[in-house]
Chains A and B, each alone.
Chain A
Amino acid sequence: AQSVTQLGSHVSVSEGALVLLRCNYSSSVPPYLFWYVQYPNQGLQLLLKYTTGATLVKGINGFEAEFKKSETSFHLTKPSAHMSDAAEYFCAVSGEDTGRRALTFGSGTRLQVQP
């Protein structure tokens, strides 16, 4: 079965600093990978996704992620944090258990941005 591990349940950065949120996955089939963001009392919103092709994926709000097969990683980065980036971030992989229909999520990383 597929799985996702997000290292660090809480990450705190200063405004303007680099954001790095870590995600490692396991999958017995070529993975489709996703990052979602959740603002307080909201549903999840897609930031970016990797299915096939270019391994560096750009998303909304200046975020990007790089698929590294050899490291089974899909870390999320943003060069310069903004106060509005404070939210919870979830990494997910499409599930071969469900014929790729459902996503398997990590436990989430809460990003705090200090002024």
Chain B
Amino acid sequence: DVKVTQSSRYLVKRTGEKVFLECVQDMDHENMFWYRQDPGLGLRLIYFSYDVKMKEKGDIPEGYSVSREKKERFSLILESASTNQTSMYLCASSFNSNINTEAFFGQGTRLTVV
């Protein structure tokens, strides 16, 4: 079974803190993604990576950065957390195939910024 593991289920951080969300996958997938989930908005893509050290902006990259130093690990960084970044964050991974873009998701991290 594919496993995508997010390091925390729940996080509470203060405004202005630097926040790291970690994600690890064990299926040797090339692609990794960070999505943000908000009620009524569905999932929105923040950043994705298709190879080590490669990253591409998604639809809502402002206020976020990412790091991919190893193939299995993809980190989302909130440089200076703000209350409008309170949300559910979902990590996903997939093979780099143009006929099968099925993504496998982690359990999510619910981040509250106070």
Contact = CB atoms under 8 A, between A and B. Distances in A.
Q: How large is the interface on B (under 10, 10 to 19, 20 to 34, 35 or more residues)?
A: 20 to 34
A104 B102 contact: no
A114 interface: no
Interface centre among A94, A101, A103, A107 (most CB of B within 10 A): A101
Nearest to A90: B42
B98 A103 contact: no
A100 interface: yes
Contact of A101 (B40, B96, B99): B96
Given A46-B102, A90-B42, A103-B101, A98 B56 contact: yes
Interface stretch (B13-21, B43-51, B70-78, B79-87): B43-51
Nearest to A93: B101
Contacts of B9: 41
Interface of B: 4, 9, 31, 33, 35, 40-45, 48, 50, 56, 58, 90, 92, 94, 96, 98-108
